[in-house]
Amino acid sequence: MDPLLLPSKEKYTNEFVFFLNGKKVELAQVEPETTLLQYVRSTKLTGTKLGCGEGGCGACTVMVSHMEPETATIHHRAVNACLAPLCSVAGMAVTTIEGLGNLDDIHPVQERIAKANGSQCGFCTPGIVMALYAHLREHPTSTPLQIEEAFDGNLCRCTGYRPILDAARSFASITEDGKEDGKEDKRGDRSIMDTQGGCGGCNGGEGCCMTNNKSKDMAVSASCQFKYEPLDLKLEPIFPPFLMKHPALPLCLKGSRVTWYRPLTIQGVHELRRLHPGAKIVVGNTEIGIEVKFRGIIYPVLITPTHVPELNKIESTSTGVSIGAAVTLTRLRTFFEEQTKTRPAHEAQLCEVMLAQLKLFAGNQIRNVGCLGGNIATASPISDINPVLLAMSAVLTVGSDQGERKINMRDFFIKYRVVDLQPHEVIHSVFVPWPRQNEHVAAFKQSRRRDDDISIVCCCFRLLLQPQDNNKWLVDEAEFAYGGMAVKSVLTPKTSAFLKGKVWDQAMLEGAYKTLAEDLPLPPGAPGGMIEYRRSLTTSFFFKFFLGVTDALSPTVDSSLVSARDKSAATPFQRGPSRGEQHYQINKGDEPVHEPIIHQAALKQVTGEAQYTDDIPDPRNGLHGAFVVASKAHAKIIKVDPTKALAARGVVAFFGPSDIPGCNTVGPILDDEELFASKVVPCMHYPLGMIVADSQQNAVEAARLVEVEYEELKPILTIDQAIAADSYIPFHHIIKRGDPEEGFKASDHVIEGEMRVGGQEHFYLETNGTFVMEGEHNELIIYASTQNPTKTQMLVAKILGLPANHITVKLRRMGGGFGGKETRSIYVSAAAALASYRLRQPVRLILDRDVDMATSGTRHPFLGRYKVGFTKEGKIMALDLSLYADAGHSFDLSGGVMDRALFHSENAYFIPHINVSGRLCKTNLPTNTAFRGFGGPQGMIICETWMQRVAEFLGKPEAQVRELNFYKDGDETHYHQLINDCRLPRVWGELMQTSTYQTRRDAVTQFNQTNRWRKRGLAIIPTKFGMSFTIKAMNQAGALVHVYTDGTVLVTHGGTEMGQGLHTKVIQIAARELGVPVSSVCISETSTDKVANTTPTAASVSSDTNGMAVLDACQQINQRLKPLRDANPNLSFKDLVTRAHMERVNLSANGFYATPDVGYLYQDSGVGIGRPFNYFNYGAAVAEVEVDTLTGDHHILRADILMDVGDSLNPTIDIGQVEGAFVQGVGWCTLEELVVFPNGYLFTRGPSTYKIPGFGDVPLDMRVSLLSDAPNPRAIHSSKGVGEPPLFLSASVFFALRDAIKAARQDEKAGSKAEWFDMYSPATCERIRLACEDSFTAQFKLEK
C-alpha cells in the first residue's frame, strides 16, 4: 500500500523542513536511514565528528531546539547526531559547532574552552562545546555542579577533563546553595598566585623566587585567564519565527528501504500499527539505531509518536503519577525535580528514587531523546528504571484501535526481550503510585563507571512497615525487584513472603539474605559473568536499604540495630564540583619559549574548523572501503566468496590477497603479518579482504555478505595458555647485575609472588582512517591519521611493489594516537592504497569504532613473577623477575615494549643484585602495540607491587620503605647507566610537604576507625622514566624551514601532531630563534615529501628531536642573515629578509638533529652495551580515595602530582599532558577492563562496553605542579619531554585503593595480623568488592 494514500483522517505530507544554523532547509527527498550526522557532514559542516556511532562519546553532539506547542516554550537539547535520524528534526532548529561561532567571530563558550587549554587533539572538542552550549541555553542559571553533570554524555581521552571543567564552571550563575554567584571565587578554586604574589609553592615567603628578584615565575590557574560571567542570552540567536508559525503536520517520508511516519494523534498511531504490525516505534532511536548500525537490521516501517499529545503527557494525581510513553527521560527528570519540592516526604521518596536512577541512566544526550516507554518495551534485563516500576507495582496502559488494557508491570516481562504486547498494540502510559505513609522506597545501581554506563546489578526495594509496641516495626508488605540477575527484571517472591509479618531486626535481616540467594540464583557461566560479585551485590544492597530504613525510623526503633560505624553505608556519596590547582614556573628571557601559549590549533578546534582525515572533501569519483573480517579466532581459510557482496548496491570491487601486486607479508620490524590473511586466520576480525563501494554504508553492508568457509583450529587466548603451550615469539631478553643468589643469601627475608596487569584500549576519539588519491603514473598521495608517515610510506610501497618516491604521506593532525597509530594505522592506509592503485580512483577507509577496537590491538597485558630479597630494615638486596607479555599474533613493536618494561622493572629503586627476563607470548588475539608508556608502566606497577608487599611484610610505612631504596647520584641502573642529577629525593620531599601526606595519613586512619563500610586509602608513588628511543637509529629528526619575504615563516618537521602540542612548541622555538612573533610562524602539515626518513612521533621525545632540528634550520638561516643584520641593525625582520632575497641569500634551510650517546644492544650475558636513555624524568603523586566496600565503587578525593619536566617549553601544554596522562592512567589501573570471550570475540568494542574515565571520574581535588628551577642540559632550551612519564603516577590511585581494601580486611579480621592479598590491575569495582572480604562475599564463595 502506498503510504501516502493511507485511508486515514490524518493527511500525511512529505514536506520536510528544518533549520540548520539559522538557515531554512527544505528537502524534497529524505532517506529515513540517514542520520542527522550523515546529513550535516554531507553539507561540508564537518566540525561535528563521528566518534563511536552509538551515542556513547558525545563527539557528534549538536543542539536541537524545538517549541512545545502547548506552552510555546522553546527547549534546547544536546543530541547525539550519530543516532538521531534526519527525519526526527522536522520542524526543529539544529545548531552545529559552525553555527555557534568561527575564527572571525568566536563564541564565549568556544573562546573560554580554548583559552583554558581545554582542547588537545581537538576531535572531541566540538561535541563538548555544543554539550555545554545547549545546557546553558536550556538552563541559563546553573550551579557549577549542574554544569559539570551536563558533560556525562561526553568523553575526552586527552585532557584529563580539568581544564574543560574550569572553563565550563566560569558560566555558573548561582552557587550550590542556590545563591547568585558574584564570581568572587565562590568555588574555592583561586588563582594559584595568592595575594602575596608567591609562585604557588611557598606563598611568597622567604626564599620565594619572586622575592629573590629572579626573572621567573608567575603561576596562574588556567581558569583565571578569563572573566567569569554567565552566558548573555540576549546575544544568542533566536528560535526561527518561521517554525513558531509552522504547524506540525503528519509526515510520511518514504525512502528506498524504509518509510518514516510521524502521526499527530493516537488514532493515527493505532492505524499505522494495524496496517504495519511489524513497524517499530521510534522516539530517541537509541536502541533501534544501534541495531541498524551494528547488526545490519533494516526495519521497513518506523513510526515516531513524538508529536502525539496523549503519549507526551505527565499527570500527577493524589494517588500517583501517569507518565506518557513518549515522555523523554529529561522531561521526566525535570518533573520529579519539581515534585520533590512539593510532595509530602513519604511521597517524595518516589521522586528521589526516580531521580537517582535517571541521573545515572545513560548520558545527557540520550536522556534528552530517549523515552520511558521505549525503555520499558525494550525489556532490557539490566534496565535501571524497570526494577523501580516493578517494585512500585506500576501499571501500564497499552492500546490499539481495538481499545485499551491495563497490565501490571509484574506481568509484562515474559522472557528475554519478550513482553506482553501484541503486534498491533503500543504502550500509552505507565502509572506509578505514590508511596504511602510508613512505606520506604530506595533504589541502587552498580556499574563499571558511575556516569553513562549500564548496570551490572540494579534494584529497587519497597517496604511497608507497621509500628508495634516497644520500638518494634512489623513488615506488612515487601516488594523487591532486581535487574542484572536474570534474563529479565525480576521480583523476589520468596523474600517477600518471608518478610511479611517479620519484626524489623537483625534476625529478619539474616533470614532475608538466605531467601534472596534462593530468589536470585546465578549458575556458573551465566551471561554477564561476575557471578560472585553480582550475587554479593544483591545482599549488600539490601543491607544498605536496611541501614537506611532503620536510620529513617530512628528514634522509634531499637538503637542497637545499627552501630554508629555502620551508618555511613546507607548514605550515598555526594560528589560536589571538582576543583584544581596548577603550579608552574615561567622563565623570562627566552620568550616566547617557556611561555604558557595556548595550543596553536585550539581556536580552530573549538570552532570545528580544524581538519582531520575524514574531513577532507570527497571528490566526485571518490569511493569508500570496508574490511571483510574473520569470524574465527584461529582457522584455516578454505574459501572466500564475494559473489553476493559484489551484487549488492553500490559495490565496485572486492580485493583480497591475490590482488596485491607487491608483497602481502610485511611488518614494522619483522615481516610476519599479512595485509589480508591468505591461508590461516591468526585472530578474530583479521582482515580477509576489502569491499569498495560508492558509500561507506554500502561498503559495510556488502562486507557482511562475503561468505567465508573455515576449518577451525584451537586458539590460544591468554598468557597462561601460551606458557602452557610453549607458544612464544622468538625473543628472550635478559638484564643482569650482580649475583641474585648471593643477594638472596644476604637477605633477612625472601618473598615470592606474581602480579597481573591488564591491557588497555587506546580509545583515541578519531578512529584509524585514511584517504588516498592517485597522482600521475603510479603516484599516490595518502592522507593518513598516523604517528608514522615514513613507515606508512615504506610499507605501502612494498605492498604495491612501487618505489618509495611514488608514495607521499601527509597529515595535518590526528584526533589522538597514544601509540596506537604508530604501526597499526599503516595497514588501513595500505588497504586503501591498494584499492586506489588498482581502481585509479580516490578511496577513503575510515574504520568504525567497533572494527577499530577489534582489530588494532591494545596495551600489552603482562604477567610478572617475582622473587625479592630484603633486609629487616626494608633495603632491597636482590630481585629475580620474569616478565611475560601478551604480544598477540605477531611481533609488531612488542620487543621494544618488553625492553622498556625490563628497563623500568626497578622503577626508582637501586637493587644491587638483579636478574630480569622478558618473553613474548604468542596468542590468537589482535597484535598488541605501542601505548603511552610503551611497557614502562607495566614493569613499574609490578615493581611497586612487590615493594608494597615488602613494606607490609615488615609492618613499616610504605613511603618510608620506598624512600629508603631510592636511587641517588652516582648509582648505576641495572643496565649500567650512571644516575646523575637525580631529582627524585627533591620531588619526593617537596610533595610529601605540599600534600601534607602525614597529616592526611592520620586523618585516613581516623576515618577508617569510625566507618565500617566506607574506607579511605592514601598512597604516594614515585616514577623514574627513561627518555629517548633505545634504538640508536631512531634518535634523529629533520626539519625544513622557509622564510618568506613578507617576514612570515613556514616550518615543516618530521613529527606529527596528535594533541600533545608538538607544533605549538616548535612554533615557539622557531619564533624565538628567528626573533619573530609566534603569529608569523606556521606549521601546515607533516609530509614525507618535505621531510624524509622520519622516525615515528613517539617515546615523548619529539619536541627534543624535532625542536632541535628546527632550531638547527633556523640557526642556519640566521647565520646567512648575520652579515646583513650586522650591517643593518635597525631593519625589521620583514625588511631584512626582503633585502636578503634581493641579495640572493637562501631563506630556506634543512635542519637535522641526532641525539648523542644513546642506543642499547642486548647481550646474551644480560650485560648490554650502550646507554639506552638520554636523561630521566622524575615525578611523584599522592592519591586519596574513598571506597564503598559493599559495592566496590570508589571516588578519587584528591590527587597531588609533582613532575620534573626541566624548564618547560610551554607550562600549560605540559600541565595538560600531565593531567591527561594521569587520568588516562587512572583508566588503565581502575576502570578499563578488556573482556575476550572463550571463542576469541572481543566483547569490549565500544563506549557501551568499554569504559574510559569520564568527567565524573576525575579527582575531586587535583593539584598539579611542575618542578621549579630544574633545567635539563641534555635537551632543547633545558626542557624535558612529558607525554609518557606522568601516566604511571596514576598507580598512586591503584595503591590507595589497595590501602582502603587493606583497612576493610583488617576490620573483618580484627585482632589478627593482616595477610598479603593479591590485587591485579585494573582494580575494577568487582575486584575491589571481592577483595573486601566479608560475610556478604563469603555467602556466595561457599557455593563454589
Angle between helices 108-115 and 125-138 (to 10 degrees): 130
In tens, the pLDDT along 421-433 reads 999 999 999 999 9
**pLDDT higher than threshold 90 for residue 1284:** yes
pLDDT at 6: 53
**pLDDT higher than threshold 70 for residue 276:** yes
In tens, the pLDDT along 910-929 reads 999 999 999 999 999 999 99
Q: What is the distance between the alpha carbons of residues 119 and 649, in angstroms, rounded to a whole number?
A: 40
Average pLDDT over residues 185-200: 31
| Phi, psi (degrees; rounded to nearest 5) at 1103 | -70, -40
CA 202 to the chain's CA centroid: 35
Collapse the DSSP code of 1041 into the 3-class scheme (helix H, G, I; strand E, B; otherwise coil) and give the result. Answer: strand
Query: Which contiguous run of DSSP H or E holds residue 696?
Result: helix 696-703
In tens, the pLDDT along 1089-1107 reads 999 999 999 999 999 999 9
Collapse the DSSP code of 1204 into the 3-class scheme (helix H, G, I; strand E, B; otherwise coil) and give the result. Answer: coil
Q: Is 752 exposed, middle or buried (0-12, 13-18, 19+ CB in 10 A)?
A: exposed
Average pLDDT over residues 1311-1336: 93
Contact by Cβ (8 Å): 1208, 596? no
pLDDT at 246: 86
Average pLDDT over residues 142-159: 96
Contact by Cβ (8 Å): 595, 1076? no
Q: What is the distance between the alpha carbons of residues 15 and 21, in angstroms, rounded to a whole number?
A: 20
- The confidence band for 278, taking pLDDT boundaries of 50, 70 and 90, is confident
Q: What is the distance between the alpha carbons of residues 1105 and 1119, in angstroms, rounded to a whole number?
A: 21
**pLDDT higher than threshold 60 for residue 195:** no
Angle 1084-1087-1091 from CA coordinates, rounded to 5°: 110
pLDDT at 1341: 87
- The confidence band for 374, taking pLDDT boundaries of 50, 70 and 90, is very high
In tens, the pLDDT along 573-615 reads 889 999 999 999 999 999 999 999 999 999 999 999 999 999 9
Q: pLDDT above 70 covers what percent of the chain?
A: 95
Average pLDDT over residues 961-968: 98
| Alpha-carbon distances, residue 340 vs 246, 343, 732 (angstroms) | 36, 6, 65
Question: Dihedral of CA 274/275/280/282: which sign?
Answer: negative
Nearest Cα neighbor of 54 from 763, 848, 615 is 848
**pLDDT higher than threshold 50 for residue 186:** no
pLDDT at 990: 98
In tens, the pLDDT along 512-528 reads 999 999 999 999 889 99
Q: What is the distance between the alpha carbons of residues 465 and 477, in angstroms, rounded to a whole number?
A: 7
pLDDT at 205: 39
**pLDDT higher than threshold 50 for residue 190:** no
The model's pTM is: 0.96
In tens, the pLDDT along 534-579 reads 999 999 999 999 999 999 998 888 888 888 899 889 888 889 999 9
**pLDDT higher than threshold 70 for residue 1228:** yes
Nearest Cα neighbor of 910 from 847, 989, 963, 841 is 963
| Phi, psi (degrees; rounded to nearest 5) at 778 | 70, 10
- The confidence band for 189, taking pLDDT boundaries of 50, 70 and 90, is very low
Q: What is the distance between the alpha carbons of residues 120 and 118, in angstroms, rounded to a whole number?
A: 7
Q: What is the distance between the alpha carbons of residues 323 and 429, in angstroms, rounded to a whole number?
A: 5
In tens, the pLDDT along 783-829 reads 999 999 999 999 999 999 999 999 999 999 999 999 999 999 999 99
pLDDT at 560: 82
Average pLDDT over residues 729-755: 98
Which one is predicted more confidently, 213 or 225? 225
- The confidence band for 204, taking pLDDT boundaries of 50, 70 and 90, is very low
CA 923 to the chain's CA centroid: 26
Q: What is the distance between the alpha carbons of residues 338 and 320, in angstroms, rounded to a whole number?
A: 15
- The confidence band for 1, taking pLDDT boundaries of 50, 70 and 90, is very low
pLDDT at 791: 98
pLDDT at 180: 67
- The confidence band for 672, taking pLDDT boundaries of 50, 70 and 90, is very high
pLDDT, averaged across the chain: 94
Q: pLDDT above 90 covers what percent of the chain?
A: 91
Collapse the DSSP code of 883 into the 3-class scheme (helix H, G, I; strand E, B; otherwise coil) and give the result. Answer: strand
**pLDDT higher than threshold 90 for residue 1087:** yes
Q: What is the DSSP string of 58-106?
A: -TTEEEEEEEETTTTEEEEEEEETTTSBGGGGTT-EEE-HHHH-BTTB-
Active site residues: 1284
Average pLDDT over residues 924-936: 98
- Percentages (nearest 5) of helix, strand, coil residues in the chain: 35, 25, 45
Q: What is the distance between the alpha carbons of residues 1134 and 1131, in angstroms, rounded to a whole number?
A: 8
| Alpha-carbon distances, residue 930 vs 675, 821, 822, 859, 1204 (angstroms) | 19, 8, 7, 7, 24
Average pLDDT over residues 1240-1260: 97
Q: Is 1101 exposed, middle or buried (0-12, 13-18, 19+ CB in 10 A)?
A: buried
